[in-house]
Amino acid sequence: MRKSHVAIACLLAAGLMAPGAASAWGDKAKTQAANTTNSTTTNTSSSAHEAMSDAAITTKVKAEFAKEKNVSATHIKVDTDNGVVKLSGTARSQQEADRAAQLARDTKGVTSVENDIQVVAGAK
């Protein structure tokens, strides 16, 4: 009989402690989840900001090409990654390729230019 009283007492004690333990564990889990979410949000918005800036730089460079009658905005591809502009595609002359690179360098936000434009005689 004594063993059954001890067992009942243990079960009662466990039943009384369980909600408090679950609550404490839940609070800790919520805090960790909030910290992870805040960290992820910061990293995501930083990446989004960089991506937007890169997209804006690409757009600005292409707009400069469109304004310049001696540079083909359709045959020269512009990619931007962390402010580094990568030019590729074809140009009719070395002067056109050099001018495209100069326009890119002069664009606000550009940190450097990689010029991989191929000069093709007779390119339109």
Domains by residue range for the chain, with CATH: 2-119 (3.30.300)
Q: Write down the pTM of the prediction.
A: 0.59
Q: Which residues of the chain fall short of a pLDDT of 50? A: 36-37, 39-42, 44
Query: What per-residue confidence (pLDDT) applies to 19?
Result: 58
Query: What per-residue confidence (pLDDT) applies to 27?
Result: 59
Which DSSP helix (H) or strand (E) runs through 124?
Answer: none
Query: What per-residue confidence (pLDDT) applies to 23?
Result: 52
Residue 15 neighbours by CB distance under 10 Å: 9
Burial per residue of 101-115, b for 16 or more beta-carbon CB atoms within 10 angstroms, e otherwise:
bebbeebeebeebeb
Query: What per-residue confidence (pLDDT) applies to 9?
Result: 56
Cα–Cα separations (whole angstroms), residue 52 to 49, 86, 94: 5, 16, 31
